[in-house]
Structures are given as C-alpha cells and as structure tokens.
Amino acid sequence: MSNYLLDTHILVWHVYQQKILSQQVINELEDYNNKIFISRASLLEIAMKSREGNLQFKDDFVTIIQIIEKHLGIKILEINNRHLIKFSQLTYPKTHKDPFDHVIISQAITDKLCLISADSKMRYYKKQGLELLEN
C-alpha cells in the first residue's frame, strides 16, 4: 500500500484524458490498496484557472469535486500549519515560482506522500525530501 498526492495536472488528466497517463501511474491510481489524495490547493488552482478561462471542462466545478470524492475516491488534503511551515522553509529555483506547486510539494514532504507529476521541475525538490513518481 502506498500513499500518493496528485499534482493538479495529473488529476485533470486522470479525470478527463486518461490516455496521457503512463501505465505505471494508471496502475497506482487503480490499485485499491493505495490511498490517493489531492491538495485543496489544486482545487483552488482548478477553480481559479476555470474562472479565468485557462481551463475548460465539460462539467461544472461542483461536479468535478463530486467526481473526485465520490466516483474516484480521492481524498482532499486540507492545508494545515505543518504544511505552511514546510512551505516557508522550502527552497526553490528562480525558474519555479508557482505557489500552488510549492504548497503541494510542502504537503507531500510533510505528510510523506509520493507526488505523482509530469512536471520535470519537481525533481529539484527530491533533495528536500520529496518522493516523486514521474508520469
């Protein structure tokens, strides 16, 4: 059994475009012994990008949350003070200033969750304790 935290784009691909996910990632997501989490920060990012027109979905935001929780069984990970402390201590390259990513990384490190991401910038954080499964 493993515990995984999905990067925002992995969640979007999982819900709407499964063909983009690697077979290894699909296997982990479909293994009922694994616990899968999504950060509240990812939901905020999706809501914000949808509102701004940068992401288009066939479903409204309420339906997206229902799909995540009820149909996929993904647990929403709240942001707590331990995550924020790690966030304040996180070092990052000047080329990676995405605060949503930094919250997600902080949560993964703090809660010892393996982050599933296709973002090569995430490799940088392995030296700070990030466990990473690359798509």
One digit per residue, pLDDT tens: the chain, 135 residues? 799 999 999 998 888 775 689 999 999 999 999 999 999 999 999 988 888 877 777 778 888 888 888 888 899 999 999 999 999 999 999 999 999 999 999 999 999 999 999 999 999 999 999 999 999
pLDDT tens across 71-83, in order? Answer: 888 999 999 999 9
Class of the CATH-defined domain 3-134: alpha beta
> Helix, strand or coil for residue 63?
helix
Count CB-CB contacts under 10 A for residue 117.
26
At 21, the amino acid letter reads L
> What pLDDT shows up at residue 51?
83
Domain ranges of the chain: 3-134
CA gap 64, 71 in Å, rounded: 10
For residue 53, give both structure tokens: 């027109």
Q: State the first-to-last Cα distance of the chain, in angstroms, to the nearest integer.
A: 19
DSSP state of 58: S
> What pLDDT shows up at residue 74?
94
Count CB-CB contacts under 10 A for residue 3.
15
Whether the Cβ atoms of residue 40 and residue 77 lie closer than 8 Å to each other = yes
CA gap 48, 70 in Å, rounded: 22
> What pLDDT shows up at residue 19?
65
Whether the Cβ atoms of residue 44 and residue 107 lie closer than 8 Å to each other = no
Sheet with 35-39, side-by-side order of all strands: 75-77, 35-39, 3-6, 114-117, 131-134
Question: 35-39 and 3-6 as β-strands: parallel, antiparallel, unpaired?
Answer: parallel
- The pTM score is 0.92
> What pLDDT shows up at residue 18?
56
